[in-house]
Amino acid sequence: MNKRPLFSDPRMIRVAVIGGMMSYFESIMAPDFRETRRNHVHKTVEELRTFCDVVFLGLWAEDADNQAISSQLENHNYDVILLVPTMATPPECLVQIVSRAGVPIVIACGHAVHEIDQSFDMKALCTHSVGVGATMLQSMLSRQSNGQKAILVSGHLDQPSFHWRLGMAVRAGATAYGLKGLRIGKLGEPMPGYAHVGMSTLEANQTGFELVEIPHQDWAEKHAAISERDIEEFIEHDLPNILPSGSTFQISSQLKNAVRQVLTLDQVVQAYDLDCGAINCRGPLGVGLSSGSISCLATALALKSGHAFAATGDLLTGVAMWIGHQLGGAALYCELDAIDLELDAFLVANTGEADFAWSGVEGVVLHDASAHSGREVPGIVIEQIIAADAATMVGLSPNMEAEKPFSLCTIEGDTLAAKPTKLKVGHGFFRAANGSCNAIFEDWVNTGVPHHGALSRGHLNEAIEWCGKLSGFSTITL
């Protein structure tokens, strides 16, 4: 079989890094001053290299540097431009260059000095004028006719919090860039009566998305063409390596049906170049097919490569899952179900979906779905107990008054240690950080979000606000 996109690692964020300085003051500096400025840039971005393809385009110091930097931006594709002023940086030419690229911009204001003592002279003042450089750049950007905004992150270079926030700003920039032209697969209509989870072509176009309707016949033909040998090879060679450590499963006809659904989704993602979407697998594209099944295993495996698919035809939550995965590396499709009053925490659960990024040391268990998914259906459900961590619920709500017809919504909080239940599906407990569960629930529901959301890892309210600023979405953060 050809390389399967669903089981490839997500592409690294490609970041163009440009340092900034002011050659006007070089005459009072040591001969290696420019090298110290380059070192400042490298210290600023060193932690980004763990998840980004960082490309240093150079240190802008004067107009003579315009052409080299401009040509690199024009001849290569980047997800984010990161400006790193190392001191005061005259912004006019540099801002003109980066504005033409049409790529989200982040400004990293990394301070290197902790204490201003009696030895602090004019040379030190100029050397440590990084705040002046950041202000110059943001001020010049605010004057651009294209209305482009930048995210500014300020902190000290030796503080982990600065590097964490800078990383989140870069993720937010890349997410905002990815939202432009996001290709959303519509795999069947929403479940009957579920019009609140749908998205029209008009709404998608107004938002800047591309809604791609997958013909039933094409899905059915691809589904039928999956061979028994392909299924058996996947179960024997691929599945054990994809599931989290400690996971268990039994080979059955229901597992084979679920794997057929996995491999069909993989082919459709590749054929239609999809980023995310939703499938109504409890209809004609799932249980309605010969050897059909629900799609819990398929959507869980898709998340490993950053392809986010919701169930029930829930296109809004499919997009929310994509955003949550881009920012936090996880996006469990789930509901805010009952509230445990003693814990003041939501039981978050679903009907068999999973995100392996939420797994603890015990892994997951694959069960035949017949007795565990709300009603008797073919396929597999995934028993997953959500690990304890910082967490954010992400949703997309209708906003008929804004330029874009949807708002990005979040609840920030924490998942808690496991508490025993008899559930054999994905579940755990989520406590909101900024109010009681009942109060937060009222605010969440009143945004108009669908009944499912995407549970992502980390505290993401600030990142969601940054993403909204760069992409033009309104935001509601709880």
Q: What percent of the chain has pLDDT above 90? A: 92
Eight-state DSSP code of residue 248: B
Reading the block at residue 311, the tokens are: 């169930």
Reading the block at residue 465, the tokens are: 């606000």
pLDDT above 80 (res 4): no
pLDDT tens digits, 271-318 = 999 999 999 999 999 999 999 999 999 999 999 999 999 999 999 999
Q: What percent of the chain has pLDDT above 70? A: 99
pLDDT above 90 (res 166): yes
Residue 223 confidence (pLDDT):
98
Mean pLDDT value of segment 200-210: 96
CB 299 within 8 A of CB 262: no
First to last CA, the chain: 46
pLDDT tens digits, 43-92 = 999 999 999 999 999 999 999 999 999 999 999 999 999 999 999 999 99
Residue with tokens 């899905």: 219
CB 187 within 8 A of CB 219: yes
- Nearby residues of 233 by Cβ (< 8 Å), 6 or more positions away: none
**Where, residue-wise, is CATH 3.40.50.10940 in the chain?**
9-179
**CA gap 291, 261 in Å, rounded:** 9
CB 277 within 8 A of CB 318: yes
pLDDT above 50 (res 1): no
State the sign of the Cα–Cα–Cα–Cα dihedral 184, 187, 188, 193. negative
In terms of Cα–Cα distance, which of 249, 314, 305 is closest to 282? Answer: 314
Confidence of residue 327 (pLDDT cuts 50, 70, 90): very high
- Nearby residues of 373 by Cβ (< 8 Å), 6 or more positions away: 294, 296, 351, 352, 379, 381, 425
Distances (CA, A) of 91 to 98, 131, 138, 147, 160: 11, 13, 9, 16, 28
- DSSP state string for 378-406: SSEEEEEEPPPEEEEEEEEEE-TTSSSSE
**CA gap 182, 272 in Å, rounded:** 12
Antiparallel, parallel or unpaired: β 150-156 and 105-111: parallel
Distances (CA, A) of 139 to 24, 59, 133, 147, 148: 20, 20, 10, 12, 11
Q: What is the mean pLDDT of the chain?
A: 95
Residue with tokens 């919504």: 409
- Nearby residues of 164 by Cβ (< 8 Å), 6 or more positions away: none
Residue 2 confidence (pLDDT):
43
Distances (CA, A) of 202 to 197, 207, 321: 15, 9, 21
Q: Domain 9-179: which CATH class?
A: alpha beta
CATH topology of domain 183-477: L-fucose Isomerase; Chain A, domain 3 (3.20.14)
CB 364 within 8 A of CB 382: yes
Q: Regarding predicted confidence, which is higher, 5 or 40?
A: 40
